[in-house]
């Protein structure tokens, strides 16, 4: 669908631009706002509770309700939809200018994996630091409701704070954050920051001279880690000043004039190899163990990682993510498949595409 048809469909529903509902403390909301700004796609952000916003509009909430929620035309009706990665793909098809997908096919696959790593692994840093330590949980409990509405009474704030914080703390084990995994998550976050800091010394974005969708996914999580939650913010200020500068500026890159990005897989700097090596000790084995648990029908799973034990609840969505990675790989031409496989193998990540065999 072209830009023209997309906007025409919105106009037919009396909408002049894309609406999304979110919270400033939601990493995926921040991912999508920064993406829309970079793309110069007209949009309106609604900070609010999804059900409260949708009710007067007579629009059914999506199931499950995840942030952000977009209001987009579906079968002639304005419909509430979620899930940032496929939505970016839909927008890229309609708004091809300032593409966030690398031109080189192999690199496009690497971008796909890195976008998923940002969404599915870096979010563990975010959720862990937000609710594991008392200082962070107290900060988030207060600021989350205030991000939607600042003029609530102190009593209402205390009510939301207790309820929301309790609910999220109870869910920590869902993402694998507990006393046993806390040191592992902490070490992984620090090593991720160090690698990104080194990378940003030599390139402005993860895959070259302009942002790719993976930049926005990593950025989304980092908006919280360096800008909202006290513990990871302290760590980032000690270890990674460039990462902080990068996150602040990626918030609005609408003014960046994009030069042609002719990077190919073989041009990738050592730092991206280092990042994949780090992923091979965390993101890759956990995604695979999760998928296996789902296939076996287990509710939870446990594995030994190089630097400690990992235990979490089985998460069907992440099994789907791994299947999508494999699908993206299968779409590649044979020579590109070989090139990508060698890259993954060199960095001990080949099981991402062989785990189904």
- Output 27 or 208, the one with its CB closest to ligand GSH: 27
Number of residues near ligand GSH (by CB under 6 A):
10
- To which H or E segment does residue 148 belong? helix 134-148
- Tell me if 27 contacts ligand GSH by CB under 6 A: yes
- Tell me if 232 contacts ligand GSH by CB under 6 A: no
CB of 85 to ligand GSH, least distance (A): 6
Say how many C-beta atoms besides its own lie within 10 A of residue 37's C-beta: 16
- Output 79 or 281, the one with its CB closest to ligand GSH: 79
Distance, CA of 268 to CA of 287 (rounded, Å):
24
- Tell me if 221 contacts ligand GSH by CB under 6 A: no
Q: What angle do CA 157, 178, 344 make, to 5 degrees?
A: 115
- Tell me if 119 contacts ligand GSH by CB under 6 A: yes
Of 22-30, 52-60, 131-139, 272-280, which part binds ligand GSH (CB under 6 A)? 22-30
- Tell me if 189 contacts ligand GSH by CB under 6 A: no
- Output 67 or 294, the one with its CB closest to ligand GSH: 67
Interaction with ligand GSH in 40-69: which residues (CB under 6 A)? 66-67
**Cβ-based burial of 272 (10 A; exposed 0-12, middle 13-18, buried ≥19):** buried
- Tell me if 82 contacts ligand GSH by CB under 6 A: yes
- Tell me if 141 contacts ligand GSH by CB under 6 A: no
- Tell me if 83 contacts ligand GSH by CB under 6 A: yes
- Output 49 or 194, the one with its CB closest to ligand GSH: 49
Task: Provide the token pair at 45.
Answer: 């952000």
What letters, b where the CB count within 10 A reaches 16 and e where it falls short, cover 95-113? beebbbbbebbbbbbbbbb
Of 12-20, 26-34, 90-98, 349-357, which part binds ligand GSH (CB under 6 A)? 26-34
Q: Which of 309, 330, 98 shows the shortest CA–CA distance to 215?
A: 98
DSSP symbols for 233-297 = HHHHHHH-HHHHHHHHHHTT-TTPPPPP----GGG--HHHHHHHHHHTTTHHHHHHHHHHHHHHT
Distance, CA of 26 to CA of 46 (rounded, Å):
13
Of 6-14, 54-62, 76-84, 142-150, which part binds ligand GSH (CB under 6 A)? 76-84
CB of 63 to ligand GSH, least distance (A): 12
Q: Which of 279, 344, 292, 296 shows the shortest CA–CA distance to 323?
A: 292
- Output 27 or 232, the one with its CB closest to ligand GSH: 27
- Tell me if 131 contacts ligand GSH by CB under 6 A: no
CB of 31 to ligand GSH, least distance (A): 7
Q: Calculate the alpha carbon distances from 119 to 155, 241, 255, 330 in Å.
A: 35, 22, 25, 22
- Output 83 or 350, the one with its CB closest to ligand GSH: 83
- Rounded to 5 degrees, φ, ψ at 21 are -110, 130
Residues of the shown chain interacting with ligand GSH in the complex, contacts defined by CB under 6 A: 26-28, 66-67, 82-85, 119
């Amino acid at each position: 669908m072209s830009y023209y048809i997309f906007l025409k469909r919105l106009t037919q529903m009396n909408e002049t631009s894309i609406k999304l509902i979110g919270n400033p403390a939601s990493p995926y909301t921040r991912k999508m706002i920064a993406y829309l700004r970079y793309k110069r796609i007209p949009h309106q952000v609604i900070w609010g509770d999804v059900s409260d916003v949708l009710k007067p509009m007579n629009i059914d909430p999506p199931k499950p309700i995840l942030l952000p929620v977009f209001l987009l035309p579906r079968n002639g009706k304005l419909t509430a939809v979620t899930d940032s990665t496929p939505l970016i793909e839909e927008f890229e098809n309609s708004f091809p200018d300032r593409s966030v997908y690398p031109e080189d096919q192999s690199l496009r696959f690497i971008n796909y994996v890195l976008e998923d790593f940002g969404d599915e692994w870096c979010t563990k840093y975010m959720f862990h630091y937000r609710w594991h330590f008392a200082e962070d949980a107290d900060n988030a409990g207060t600021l989350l409701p205030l991000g939607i509405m600042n003029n609530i009474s102190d009593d209402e704030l205390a009510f939301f704070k207790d309820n929301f914080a309790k609910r999220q703390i109870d869910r920590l084990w869902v993402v694998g954050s507990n006393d046993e995994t806390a040191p592992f998550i902490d070490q992984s976050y620090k090593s991720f920051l160090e690698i990104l800091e080194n990378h940003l010394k030599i390139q402005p974005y993860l895959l070259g001279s302009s942002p790719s969708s993976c930049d926005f996914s990593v950025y989304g999580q980092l908006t919280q880690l360096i800008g909202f939650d006290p513990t990871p913010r302290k760590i980032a200020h000690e270890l990674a000043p460039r990462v902080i500068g990068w996150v602040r500026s990626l918030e609005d890159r609408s003014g960046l004039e994009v030069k042609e990005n002719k990077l190919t897989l073989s041009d990738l700097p050592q730092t991206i190899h280092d990042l994949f090596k780090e992923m091979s000790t965390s993101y890759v084995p956990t995604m695979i163990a999760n998928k296996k648990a789902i296939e076996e029908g287990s509710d939870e799973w446990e594995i030994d990682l190089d630097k400690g034990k990992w235990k979490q609840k089985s998460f069907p969505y992440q099994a789907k993510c791994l299947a999508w990675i494999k699908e993206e790989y299968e779409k590649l031409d044979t020579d590109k498949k070989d090139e990508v496989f060698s890259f993954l193998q060199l960095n001990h990540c080949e099981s991402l595409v062989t785990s189904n065999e």
